[in-house]
Amino acid sequence: MWYKFIDGCFQRIIFVKSEVDNNLYYLVVWGNVFILVLYVDEFFLTGSLGLIKECKRELAVEFKMKDLG
């Protein structure tokens, strides 16, 4: 149930789900690749600082979050 909910949230934010790994989502914006990996109940983000900040804002609307840097 959790996975279906979170998958829907990520796809609403316009992430593309990897065909190789169901826990990896990505987004390409102006040639910059942004990657989000889901591990149990944690998100790992990598990409440009601007995209990371924007993603954190979007995710904070849906989830109670703690930013560990």
Q: What is the DSSP string of 1-52?
A: -HHHHHHHHHHHTT-EE-SS-TTEEEEEETTEEEEEEEETTEEEEES-HHHH
What is the pLDDT, as a whole number, of residue 20? 93
Domain assignment of residue 68, yes or no: no
32 vs 40: CA distance, rounded Å: 26
Q: How many C-beta atoms lie closer than 10 Å to residue 51's C-beta?
A: 20
Q: What is the pLDDT of residue 69?
A: 66
User: pTM for this one?
Assistant: 0.76
Task: Report, as an integer, the average pLDDT of 3-13.
Answer: 81
Element (H, E) at 66: none
Question: In the chain, pLDDT over 90 holds for what percent of residues?
Answer: 13
Tally of domains within the chain: 1
15 in a structural domain: yes
pLDDT of 68 strictly over 80: no
What is the pLDDT averaged over residues 26-44? Answer: 86
Across 37-57, average pLDDT: 84
Range of the domain at 29: 2-62
